[in-house]
Amino acid sequence: MSTHISGQATTAREQSRHDDGKFGQQQYARAHDVDLEGADHVDTREWPDGFDAHTAKPIEFDTQLHVEHQALAGAHTRLEAARTQIHALARGGRVSDGLEPGEELSDELAVAEAIRLSATLGTPGEERKAPKAARLMNERTDATLAIATARDRVDALDDVYRNRGSWNRAFLVANANGHVHSSTDCSTYRSTTQYAWVTNYSGADEDTIVQDAGYRACTTCHPSAPLGDQSNLPTKMLTDEEKTAAAQREQAQATQEAKHAQAAANAPTATGEPIEIRYPSGKKTYVETLKTERSAQQWATNHLIDDAEQQALDETPNLDPQKQQIEREAAQRVLDALAEKRGVDRTEIAEEVRGKALAKAKRDHKAVVSMR
Ligand SMILES: [Zn+2]
């Protein structure tokens, strides 16, 4: 059970904290900002049934905190999407005309333009943009409020975590050979670092974390961690991608094994191997492969009919004697193999093949007669 928070989302979150509770949209602040000082964003959402932050076990607590982190990251993503679309809507409109060459459209101007369009204060022909502008402004407000709500909940849990004296946590950087860190602010992180919060190690003692992290233990976070690699310090902590890849490998192997098992079960021999009949042809060899009991028995049946027809012909047989010899030997092998596979006497198989050959010959004979 590993869970993800985006390192970038955390960066955005931390930036938002520097904005005196305005939750980060300082560029918007001067232009019709959402009023977060009001009661709109008071968190009325209940914690899940049975969850008490003051008594929850570390794993349960951190799992809930992760849910709140995801809500926060999701709200940031929504706000950024609204911002991008508001810019797209405003660009090319008349606000862009006032810009110096090379000057970027500011968030303030873009929002002001969206408000103007949403109020259908635009020039004739701009009315069709009003619904979209209104929708984007609403989305921007909703996302900003959602950020505030999620931020409150994360802060509340963070406070409880500190008051309870904190516990060990494990964060796994989500790339090949990513390290296991004890917090989300290790000095080895870069701004783009993505990590998975391995919440099932929350509250574990450090020795357990270091041991299970193996070669992945960050030596900055865990100075006691030994240095090694995958071969001498294997890890028990895998990223979701690694788990998925491992599961896919296992699945592919199981499918392959099932396929082989099915082929062996169908095979004409007790060992599961097919029967090969090799015909030399000049310098090459033509190989006929009988993969199933059914195909082997059919082959033997057809051979018996062909052989009988050859012998019944008055004139010189038209089969080449070498081929005939090969097929006669092969027919013996097929009968032996089927008898062994089915655990019956060879004569029983020979009788069965003979019976089928006779029935088929009769059918074919009728067909021949009816053609006349
Ligand atoms: Zn670290």
Total of domains in the chain: 2
Residues 291 and 144 in one domain: no
Q: Tokens 């369009």 label which residue?
A: 117
For position 260, what pLDDT does the model report?
Answer: 92
Calculate how far, in angstroms, residue 223's C-alpha sits from the geometric centre of ligand 1: 9
Q: Give the up-direction half-sphere exposure of residue 359: CA atoms within 13 A in the CB hemisphere.
A: 8
SS3 338: helix
Domain boundary pick from 122, 139, 166: 166
Calculate how far, in angstroms, residue 215's C-alpha sits from the geometric centre of ligand 1: 13
Calculate how far, in angstroms, residue 186's C-alpha sits from the geometric centre of ligand 1: 4
Domain membership of residue 72 (yes or no) is yes
Q: 12-16, 46-50, 76-80, 82-86: which has the minimum mean pLDDT?
A: 12-16
Domain membership of residue 360 (yes or no) is yes
Q: Which of 21-30, 134-143, 363-372 has the highest mean pLDDT?
A: 134-143
Higher pLDDT, 6 or 153: 153
Calculate how far, in angstroms, residue 178's C-alpha sits from the geometric centre of ligand 1: 10
Calculate how far, in angstroms, residue 173's C-alpha sits from the geometric centre of ligand 1: 9
Calculate how far, in angstroms, residue 175's C-alpha sits from the geometric centre of ligand 1: 14
Query: Encoding tokens for residue 296?
Result: 């082997």
For position 253, what pLDDT does the model report?
Answer: 95
* Segments in the chain forming alpha helices (H): 7-17, 26-29, 58-90, 94-97, 107-118, 130-163, 206-213, 240-266, 293-312, 321-342, 346-371
* Percent above pLDDT 90 for the chain: 53
pLDDT of residue 196 exceeding 60, the answer is yes
Domain membership of residue 192 (yes or no) is no
Please write the tens of the pLDDT for every residue from 181-193. Answer: 999 888 888 878 8
Q: Which of 110-119, 182-191, 252-261, 300-309 has the highest mean pLDDT?
A: 252-261
Contacts for 109 with CB less than 8 Å, ≥ 6 apart: 31, 90, 95
Calculate how far, in angstroms, residue 221's C-alpha sits from the geometric centre of ligand 1: 4
Residue 98: Cβ-neighbour burial (10 angstroms; 0-12, 13-18, 19+): exposed
Domain membership of residue 71 (yes or no) is yes
Higher pLDDT, 23 or 327: 327
For position 187, what pLDDT does the model report?
Answer: 87
Residues 160 and 17 in one domain: yes
Under 8 Å between Cβ of 172 and 2: yes
Confidence of residue 53 (pLDDT cuts 50, 70, 90): very high
Domain membership of residue 41 (yes or no) is yes
Please write the tens of the pLDDT for every residue from 350-360. Answer: 999 999 999 98
For position 32, what pLDDT does the model report?
Answer: 43
Q: 94-108, 141-155, 160-174, 277-291: which has the minimum mean pLDDT?
A: 94-108
For position 41, what pLDDT does the model report?
Answer: 53
Residues 162 and 41 in one domain: yes
Q: 61-75, 86-100, 106-120, 166-180: which has the minimum mean pLDDT?
A: 86-100
Q: Tokens 């193996």 label which residue?
A: 214
For position 308, what pLDDT does the model report?
Answer: 81
Calculate how far, in angstroms, residue 162's C-alpha sits from the geometric centre of ligand 1: 20
Calculate how far, in angstroms, residue 68's C-alpha sits from the geometric centre of ligand 1: 23
Domain membership of residue 242 (yes or no) is no
For position 163, what pLDDT does the model report?
Answer: 96
Domain membership of residue 264 (yes or no) is no
Under 8 Å between Cβ of 152 and 41: yes
Calculate how far, in angstroms, residue 220's C-alpha sits from the geometric centre of ligand 1: 5
Q: Tokens 């090319």 label which residue?
A: 92
Calculate how far, in angstroms, residue 9's C-alpha sits from the geometric centre of ligand 1: 19
Domain membership of residue 348 (yes or no) is yes
Query: Encoding tokens for residue 367?
Result: 């067909």
Calculate how far, in angstroms, residue 57's C-alpha sits from the geometric centre of ligand 1: 24
For position 123, what pLDDT does the model report?
Answer: 67
Confidence of residue 314 (pLDDT cuts 50, 70, 90): low
Task: Give the Cβ contact number of residue 104 at 10 Å.
Answer: 11
Calculate how far, in angstroms, residue 192's C-alpha sits from the geometric centre of ligand 1: 15
Confidence of residue 7 (pLDDT cuts 50, 70, 90): very low
Calculate how far, in angstroms, residue 55's C-alpha sits from the geometric centre of ligand 1: 28
Calculate how far, in angstroms, residue 158's C-alpha sits from the geometric centre of ligand 1: 20
Q: Once rounded to an integer, what is the mean pLDDT over residues 109-133?
A: 82
Calculate how far, in angstroms, residue 188's C-alpha sits from the geometric centre of ligand 1: 6
Q: Once rounded to an integer, what is the mean pLDDT over residues 218-241?
A: 90
Domain boundary pick from 135, 166, 197: 166
pLDDT of residue 101 exceeding 70, the answer is yes
Domain boundary pick from 115, 132, 166: 166
Domain holding 325, by residue range, is: 275-371
Calculate how far, in angstroms, residue 334's C-alpha sits from the geometric centre of ligand 1: 67
